[in-house]
Amino acid sequence: MSVVSNENNESAQRAELHRKIWAIADDVRGAVDGWDFKQYILGILFYRFISENITEFFNKVEHEAGDESFDYAEITDVEAETDFRPDTVEEKGFFILPSQLFKNVVKTAHTNENLNTDLANIFKSIESSAIGYPSEDDIKGLFEDVDTTSNKLGATVAEKNKRLCDILTGIDKINFGKFENNDIDAFGDAYEYLISNYASNAGKSGGEFFTPQTVSKLLARLVMDGKTSINKVYDPTCGSGSLLLQMKKQFEKHIIDEGFFGQEINIINFNLARMNMFLHNVNYNNFSIKRGDTLLNPLHNDEKPFDAIVSNPPYSIKWVGDNDPTLINDERFAPAGKLAPKSYADYAFIMHSLSYLSSKGRAAIVCFPGIFYRKGAEKTIRKYLVDNNFIDCVIQLPENLFFGTSIATCVLVMAKNKTENKILFIDATKEFKKETNNNILEEKNINAIVEEFRDRKEIEYFSRCVDKSEIEENEYNLSVSTYVEKEDTREKIDIKVLNQQIEQTVQRIDELRASINEIVKELEDE
């Protein structure tokens, strides 16, 4: 299949999937706020996925063994307990009885008066199936945001059941096809699409944790450029996991030996990230998503260093900073000699990422522009990063790429194995396609940025490689506009031509005035 044909298939499948999944979300939410209601849509979408995933897992084994008519969904729970539960959790990370499968629950959903409590018990059972196994931490609490007894679903049990039934039947009607026959990762794509739509419709509250796929793709391409394999990838503020999963999407042919690692402080986003991993067929033993405050309680110390780090940390949030005197001695922050200001934690995340980066690795971090020119402690930390030759590239992105903010963000690329003491600055503010609500990076825009990152050709109004000495002269200002001249798009005016036009205009005015005076004189003489 040609690349063009494959892209067309992907676009068609994706467009159809998006239309159907958003229609369901829009139709069934009713009086429930969209942002709150997303948990039910996403949670039940995930429930269908793991039901079909484990069914396919068992069916494939039995079909290959010669029983081509076998269907796990049709056997009894007793038979499943005896013949299928042993060793399953070790491999899959969880277990679901036939009666608990999405397929079987949806059949009787419209007549089941206990639907909300039955679903609650099923979700609890799935989570409990992992207790005592290596997957326990990856499964525990996955469904805790899908509260089927919540009054958000309705004031009465009947109302709750009606809404849950609507969600179940709506998601059941979507034809995801067979996994192996899809050009897109159907469940995962539907999931990310819903998150992005909820984020854009919720404004800032949603945009705080969702990184648009095109920006995620750019970061993935930047950290992997020129590499054929890496040990593992890490996102210290992973949100819903979109940056980590772009690494999987973009580099299926590359080897990511030890999987995907992330930390997230928000419980809802933490659950979303773990679901998102499963939905993209990343098995529990290939990812480690942990919950906690990355700056004060980092939970992947034993797994560092990482060959690839991608991150979109929260912009300029407050943190404890020097109110905690022990932090200046933390191995992550101590080398710079200063802590990030209490009002702006950006460089705390940057120093944390640098500490976790391997000697041959690369980090790409989305940053608020102000961190590249603000004075005080931030300037001191910039000096440390420049003097030690850790900064590889600073990229100015177009405005209005992110949900919840129109600010033109930047990408900071760091590495520990640079061969020359120069920094590449790229002004990519014109590299975008304008859409209704947000600008987007098209493939050609991403390619233009990545190619310049790789080739380092100095292009007028677009890019410049700058010596450390010049950066010192500019007092460690790392703003792209300081080093890459903006193209003057104003209309150029030829002064000589303009003066000539003015002279002609004055002459014409004089002629008109003379004519008018003559007419007036003639009228007076009459």
Judge whether 193 and 21 are in contact, CB under 8 Å.
yes
Residues 213-233 have pLDDT tens digits of: 889 999 999 999 999 999 999
Bridge partners, residue 440, by sequence = 433
Angle at 525 between CA 524 and CA 526, to 5 degrees: 90
Q: Give residue limits of the domains in the chain.
A: 3-202, 206-483
Of 194, 182, 156, the closest CA to residue 44 belongs to: 194
| pTM (2 d.p.) | 0.85
Assigned CATH topology for domain 3-202: Ferritin (1.20.1260)
* Phi, psi (rounded to 5 degrees) for 378: -65, -35
| Beta-strand pair 422-427/357-367 | unpaired
One-letter-per-residue 3-state SS of 436-479: CCCEECCHHHHHHHHHHHHHCCCCCCCEEEEEHHHHHHCCCCCC
Closest CA to 247 of 396, 255, 239, 184: 255
Distance of CA 10 to the CA centre of its chain: 20
Q: Which residue has the tokens 């809404």?
A: 163
Whole-number Å distance between alpha carbons of 134 and 120: 24
Q: How far apart are CA 350 and CA 412, in angstroms?
A: 9
How is residue 332 written in tokens?
A: 């992550």
pLDDT of amino acid 521: 73
Q: What is the DSSP letter of 405?
A: B
State the Cα–Cα distance between residues 161 and 109, nearest whole angstrom. Answer: 8
pLDDT in tens, 347-361: 999 999 999 999 999
User: Starting at the edge strand that comes first in sequence, how are the strands of the sheet with 306-311 ordered?
Assistant: 287-291, 260-264, 233-235, 306-311, 357-367, 410-415, 391-396, 422-427, 463-467
Give the three-state DSSP class for 278: helix
- 372 near 410, Cβ under 8 Å? yes
What's the pLDDT score for residue 9? 60
Percent of the chain whose pLDDT exceeds 90 = 64
Q: Which residues of the chain have pLDDT under 70?
A: 1-14, 25, 27-36, 177-188, 198-209, 404, 488-492, 524-526
474-477, long-range: CB < 8 A, 24+ apart: 475/379, 476/379, 476/382, 476/383, 476/386, 477/372, 477/373
- The CA-based angle 134-44-29, given to 5 degrees, is 145
| Integer angstrom CA distances of residue 218 from 175, 196, 317, 412 | 31, 17, 24, 12
pLDDT of residue 300: 97
Quick one: pLDDT at residue 31? 46
3-state secondary structure 8-72: HHHHHHHHHHHHHHHHHHHHHCCCCCHHHHHHHHHHHHHHHHHHHHHHHHHHHHHHHCCCCCCCH
| Domain 206-483, second-level architecture | 3-Layer(aba) Sandwich (3.40)
* pLDDT above 70 coverage of the chain, percent: 89
